[in-house]
Structure 1
Amino acid sequence: MANFVLVAGARLGAWAWDEVVPYLRAAGHGAHPLTLSGLAEKRGGPAGQQTHVQDIVDEVERLDLRDVVLVGHSYSGIPVGQAAERIGDRLARMVFVDASVPADGESFVSAWPDGGVMVKASIAENGGFWPLVPATHYDGQGLTDEQVARIVGGSTPHPGATLTEPAVLARPLGELPATYLLCLLAGGEPGDDVAKLLTSKRWRLVEMDTGHWPMFSQPRELAQILLDAAGE
């Protein structure tokens, strides 16, 4: 039995996995969706990137989970990738769902074309939080109007420091077993950093013909990919 620890991307909480969790549990596995500090039901509080890393480590240790599959979506690939090396032999595999990946000394916004200048300005103008985005942000991502309304309605401003603080890695990420799930509607090819990691014998690429939020647009198909990854 695998234990999936599911961490959604920026502005989202554990609730984002509501339609995925039943499929994982029906297959006999543990499914543990996690809300990171400062988001959803934990909204409003300050949090840095290392806070989010520790949130994940603490959840694994609190529940004494083994055979852990850490699943990071979008932004949350950054803390998931760091937490993976810190849980030691509890880790079975990482799954990055159309996610950013951490690089030692680099932040979430480091790879942005402008180095994150606009994001940092937005955070400064909004009390230290990355603000919400309009429904049009989700256009072209394979989502129904109802699904977009759920995402928008459940989103909360994202703690800004988690996006601008650097990642801390003790070992190359390519040494750990991972599946990278590329959502084709969000962009046809992995970034250079992911492409380099995919040259590792311990990493593999899977594609989905959907947008950046597959836990809403194709939850059953996403669950099956997670189950397949756990069996590797």
Structure 2
Amino acid sequence: MFPYLQEIHQFPYPDYRFMPRGYYYSPYSEGGWLWSNGAFESDERYRLPAQQRLTFVLVHGSWADAHFWDGVAAVLRSQGHAVYTPEYAGHGKDPNKDVTHAMVTKSVVNFITKLNLRDFVLVGHSFGGTVIQKVAEQVPDRIRRLVFWDAFVLKDGESVADELPPQTRQGFEQLRAGSKDDTIMLPFPLFRDLFVNTATLEEARRMYAGVTPEPATPLFEKLDLKAFYALPTPKSYIYFFQDNALPQGEGFGWHPHMSTRLGQFRLIVGDGDHFTDTRTRPEMVARKFYEAGRD
């Protein structure tokens, strides 16, 4: 097995005041820059008062890595928030795809403890919801609030695969069986319809160019979550209406199927899909994170 050396991803512009207004950086775009709806709020007029600034730890989902957050993190930082984007085992530059859910969780826990992060808002997207469930069990005293963005909230003893519609699960099992390293690679038509359904075809192809095979094992592992469901940590759920990654209704979907498992929670809604808006409307996504995370 290859050793996993975790990196701390920082936005490529060290001083966001000098970032071109109206744009944000994305590794998925030609030349790196994409137009963003609305002016990029990067000057001092848009920075929040110190008492309103938060610390965010953003945990990506499947078929993504820490660069998924580049645009959103830049917006939040420009407003005075501290933002950290850990990348977990089996993703990004890690060549080893033979990972478990426990290894994924350990990556994020180690990142948090190494940097001695405290009083932060822990955000999980999609599969990242299961990661923050397990992270919260290990470092509950460090977390200010948990935020699930169109994310899995598994019941005790469940796996992600248990929450997939039968047709989707069968397709994933076939893709897994056909791989040489126990991974699942999304075919473009599936990615386009389920993950980036509001994007233009050009945007969808550009984002798909950054997708890499996903380690399969963590998606099929059943998790012990008894400790999570005993935690008093405040929780929020962000639901985007056009997110088609899970079908809504008939016992599936993000909200209310997943969200209501949190017990008491704050609901924040938006109009977007599963992937696209982090690239094309990072200001909107950042605003939803702040609404979900603030007191």
TM more than 0.5: yes
Contact residue 267 and residue 292 of structure 2 kept, 8 A: no
- The Cα offsets for residues 141-186 of structure 1, whole Å up to 9 and x where unpaired, read as 3223443233211111000101011122214177432111111112
**Partner SS for 2:174:** helix
Give 1:219's aligned residue. 282
Give 2:270's aligned residue. 208
State the distance in 2 between where 1:90 and 1:100 align.
Answer: 22
Contact residue 151 and residue 254 of structure 2 kept, 8 A: no
Q: Which one of 57, 73, 84 corresponds to residue 21 of structure 1?
A: 73
> Between Structure 1 and Structure 2, which shows a larger proportion of helix residues?
1
Instruction: Summarize the alignment of residues 151-170 of structure 1 with structure 2, pairs less than 5 Å apart.
Output: 151-169=207-225, 170=227
**Partner SS for 2:146:** strand
Give 2:241's aligned residue. 184
Distance 1:31 1:146, change over 3 A: farther
Structure number with the bigger relative contact order (C-alpha 8 A, sep ≥ 6) is 1
Instruction: Summarize the alignment of residues 82-93 of structure 1 with structure 2, pairs less than 5 Å apart.
Output: 82-93=134-145
Greater Cα offset, 15-24 or 114-123: 114-123
Q: TM-score, normalised by structure 1?
A: 0.89
Q: Which one of 117, 121, 124 corresponds to residue 69 of structure 1?
A: 121
- The Cα offsets for residues 41-65 of structure 1, whole Å up to 9 and x where unpaired, read as 2244311111111111111111110
State the distance in 1 between where 2:214 and 2:74 align.
Answer: 27
Q: Which one of 192, 205, 219 corresponds to residue 138 of structure 1?
A: 192
Distance 1:173 1:11, change over 3 A: farther
Q: Which one of 98, 123, 135 corresponds to residue 176 of structure 2?
A: 123
1:123 Cα deviation after fit = 1.1
State the distance in 2 between where 1:113 and 1:149 align.
Answer: 25
Contact residue 174 and residue 197 of structure 1 kept, 8 A: no
Contact residue 109 and residue 138 of structure 2 kept, 8 A: yes
The number of equivalent residue pairs is 230
State the distance in 2 between where 1:184 and 1:177 align.
Answer: 23
Gaps of 5+ in 1: none
Q: TM-score, normalised by structure 2?
A: 0.71
State the distance in 1 between where 2:240 and 2:71 align.
Answer: 18
Contact residue 119 and residue 143 of structure 2 kept, 8 A: yes
Contact residue 101 and residue 217 of structure 2 kept, 8 A: yes
Gaps of 5+ in 2: 1-52
State the distance in 2 between where 1:226 and 1:173 align.
Answer: 24
Higher Cα Rg, which structure:
2
State the distance in 2 between where 1:185 and 1:11 align.
Answer: 19
Distance 1:153 1:44, change over 3 A: farther
